[in-house]
Structures are given as C-alpha cells and as structure tokens.
Chain A
Amino acid sequence: MKKICLSVLGLYLGFIQAFSQAKDSSQYKSRKLSIEEINLVSSYYKQDGSHSAVEGGIGTQKLSDISNVIDLKLVFYDKKYRKHSLVAEAGLDYYSSASSDRIDAKANSSASSSDIRVYPSLSWTMENEQKGRSLNLFASTSTEYDYQSIGFGAAYSQKSKDRNREITVKGQAFLDKVTLIRPVELRPGGEDDENYGSASRNSYSGSVTLSQVVNKRLQMLFVAEFVQQEGFLGLPFNRVYFKDLSMRAEHLPSTRWKLPLGLRASYFLGDKVVLKGFYRFYQDSWGLQAHTAELETSLKLSPVFSLTPFYRFYRQTAVDYFAPYAAHETSEEFFTSNFDLGDFNSHFAGMGFRYVPVGGVFGVKHWNMVELRYGHYTRSNDLSANIISMHVRIKKP
C-alpha cells in the first residue's frame, strides 16, 4: 500500500516537473502539438454485505478496490484551424473480493481472491469551432484474469448557430470474452481442472443527446440511449441453489435490451450556489425497471473553493429470473440469485470539495486543480459501501 502511494506521488511530481520545463506557448492557436492537461483520478472503494452471488445469495460480499486512472490530453490545430484533441488514458484497478474467493474451495488462497484490471483507451476529437461541429472516435480495451473487452465507437456533435443548443449522436460497441470459470463443484476435474473455455458477450449502443441553454442561469440535457446485448450475459461462477438444495451455475437469457432515458439540469442560484439535478428512467427486457434521482449542490465559498454535498436515490425492481437462496424451482429455464439484479432501493450521499487556486495548488503553478469526494452507499438488501476519490489536474496556467 505504501509503495502504491509513493508511486502515485512520484508520478504526480514527475508530471509537474515535466510541465515546469515546457516552453511558453501562449501564441494564439499555435498549431503545434501541445499538452493541454493531465488528469489523475485515484479512488478507494470498500463494501460489505451478506448476499454473495457466488454463494447463491448468502455469504460475505466484502470487497475492496484501489483504482488509478491517468489521462493525457494533447491538442493541435490543422491547416484549416480545426482543433484536434488526442486523449490517451490508462487505468489500473487492484481489487480483492471475499465472495469471488469462494469460487474455489480454498478460501483466502484461491486464484480468484484478488485480481488486477488494466484498461487503456484512446480518443480523438476533431472540432470545427467556427461551424460548431465535432467528430469523435474512440477505442478501449479492458483486461482481467477471466474477462477481456474491446470497445470502439464514434460520436458526432452539432451546435446551433446561436451556440445555445447542441445535438450529439453516438454509437459504440463492446466485444467481450468471458472465461467460463465454473464453481469448483461443477468442474469435471475438480479444483485442478483449468479447461475453462470461453464465451462471447457483445454490447451495442446508440444514443442521442440534446443539450439546451434555457436562459442565463439554466441549462438542460436530455439523453436517450438504446443498448442491445447478446451472448453469455450471466456470470459462470455464480451459484444458484434450488428448493431441493441442488445447485447449478446461474443461467440467464442470451439477449437483453436496455433503454435508459436521462435528464440533467444545472441552475445557477444567486451568485454562489449551483444546483445540479439528474433523473433517469430505465427499462430492460429482463423486466428490470429503475428510477434514479440525484441532486448535487456546489457552494462557492470563495472564487477558488467550492463545497459539493450530494444525494442520490435509486430504486429498481427485480429481473424476472431472480429469486433468493433456495427459492428457485428446478423447472425454471433461467435463474439467478444475484442480489444486484434483485428488488431494492439505494441511497448514496456524501460531500466533496474543489480547489482551483489562481497561482496553483500549494503554489505549484501547473497544479491547476484538486478535487476530493467521499460518498457512503447503502442498499436496502443489506449492502453498504464507502468510496473516496481524488482528482488532480495538471494544466498550463
């Protein structure tokens, strides 16, 4: 842990040092490729609960996750003075999970007790500032021990002539591969049987976003998205216990569509308060319906310091195939005891602060901003979690 902290600190200082040697490039719309900003987001997440899907809806859900994501944004202008932005991002998560550890018989020592996820991505945006349009292409990968994902997509945005309205059309695809690690009891060769095999899971989504400046203090955004998934959509190591106490691995349909509709608004109240609201309606083909409502307030205590208390409420109904431990009939075609797909409400509340000093954080002129945020999460089906995140932005003054 100490080594990770020192490495992250070293990384920050290294980038600050790199910036301090950069030449002044304040020339208006310099066409040279230059670093616009570097962002580093670090998070620590910890949860506990008593409905582990790996153990069929009972057992510990203790889990911790350390996440670090760094991105580098490069900008240049072409001959037609169109702005090109390149964003290279790299993410690394380390997590340990008590429930995943129960896939095998030897708890606390099995291969699944912890894992590392690596997820680099690349994005290119070409923006014609005069015509108010932009084109974005992006690609990403994500690799875990038992899961690989390749994603790519494109987005096109057009602003209205008065720059008060913008419409964005986006399409993306994720081509995933799941390694079929079954619970140890269901592997023909027992714990040493590593002929897992694999299956595909593909997700395709399309979205339309409309943002609108309503007046001098209010702006709104509406998003309609449609997602189609196909392939192996369950998790192979999730156990399901039936009424007769026989056990099988979770089995879910091989297709699923999702329809999330989101509405977001931000309102400047007086001179020192910004209210931000979010509502989402969600429906999918497995019978899950959900509502999400969130409110965040930014209190500008000074021109450079803001406090951001927030609260989020979430409610979902269970998928048609969910039943708790030992409640499924053996005659059912599809079944899961994963409480993430069950019926519950959740509350997520916390506080953050944002500090953007004129001369840089701690007087380091390229350290443009620091934001810290803490949240506590509770779910009505006995799961709670805490998360703390920090965002550091390095930018030319």
Chain B
Amino acid sequence: MKIRLIVAVIGLVSYVSGCTTVKEYQKNRINDAEMDLSTRKVQKTELSFQSYREGASGANGGKTGGGCGCN
C-alpha cells in the first residue's frame, strides 16, 4: 500500500514538474466553465447524501463534519 502511494506521489510530482507555462491568452479552454475543478452547486445534495450513506468523506468539496446523518 505504501509503495503504491509513493509511486503515485512521485508520478504526480514528476508530471506536474513537467508542466508547460500557459499564457493567459492561451487559456480559452482552461477557463471554460466546464473545466472548473471544484464540485458544482448542483452536486451539493449528492455530496451530502454520499457523506451520510458512506463511511468516507472529505477531499471533494463536501463536508467532513457538522451534520448528523441521523436518518
């Protein structure tokens, strides 16, 4: 498990370090609304029910505390 995690982190770092500099005028695709990396507002209730119905939460814009999940 640790080995897989280390490989993933090394892969991520090497990929990001190989990034090209993108100028503002070249960002017409990057700035497209569909490219937004954050979760969209329409997914708000989905994130909420997933955090109640599943044991894992966090790292996705949803809440990691504050709420009952009583039902």
Binding site for B on A (CB under 8 A): 39, 41, 43, 45, 47, 63, 65, 67, 69, 95, 97, 99-100, 115, 140, 142, 144, 146-147, 149-151, 162-164, 172-174, 176, 178, 202-205, 207, 210-217, 219-225, 227, 229, 235, 237, 258, 260-266, 268, 274, 276, 278, 280-282, 284, 288, 290, 292, 298, 300, 306, 314, 316, 319, 340-341, 346, 348, 352, 354, 356, 371-373, 375, 377, 379, 383, 385, 387, 389-391
Contacts and interface: CB of A to CB of B under 8 A. Distances in A.
B35 A151 contact: no
A225 B62 CA distance: 12
A389 B44 contact: yes
B2 to A, nearest CB: 12
17 contacts: A43-B45, A146-B68, A164-B19, A164-B21, A176-B66, A203-B65, A216-B22, A229-B65, A274-B34, A282-B58, A284-B55, A288-B56, A290-B54, A319-B55, A387-B46, A389-B42, A389-B45
A132 to B, nearest CB: 12
Nearest to A223: B59
A47 B55 CA distance: 17
A39 B55 CA distance: 29
Interface string B22-51: 111011011011111100111111101110
A36 to B, nearest CB: 14
A216 B68 contact: no
Interface bin, chain B: 35 or more
B65 A174 contact: yes
Contact of A282 (B5, B46, B52, B56): B56
B53 to A, nearest CB: 6
A216 B40 contact: no
Given A290-B54, A371-B40, A391-B41, A280 B66 contact: no
A216 B67 CA distance: 40
Contacts of B30: 213, 216-217, 219, 268
A215 B24 contact: no
Contacts of B48: 67
A346 B37 contact: no
A316 B53 contact: no
A280 B56 contact: yes
**Top 9 A-B residue pairs of the complex, sorted by shortest distance between their CB atoms:** A203-B65, A262-B59, A174-B66, A260-B58, A43-B45, A290-B56, A260-B59, A282-B56, A174-B65
- Give the dominant DSSP class at B's interface: loop
Contacts of A225: 58-59, 64
A357 B16 CA distance: 36
A266 B36 contact: yes
Contacts of A47: 49, 53
B66 A221 contact: no
B56 A292 contact: yes
B16 A220 contact: yes
B57 A260 contact: yes
Nearest to B5: A281
Nearest to A210: B16
A216 B26 contact: yes
B21 A162 contact: yes
A184 B36 CA distance: 48
A375 B44 CA distance: 13
A262 B59 CA distance: 5
Contacts of B46: 43, 348, 373, 375, 387, 389
Q: Which of B21, B29, B56, B63 has the most CB of A within 10 A?
A: B56
Contacts of B58: 205, 207, 225, 227, 258, 260, 262, 280, 282
A151 B66 contact: yes
A280 B64 CA distance: 14
Given A216-B29, A292-B56, A373-B43, 18 more contacts: A41-B41, A47-B49, A142-B66, A142-B67, A144-B68, A147-B67, A174-B65, A213-B19, A213-B27, A214-B15, A221-B37, A260-B57, A266-B37, A276-B34, A371-B42, A372-B42, A387-B46, A389-B46
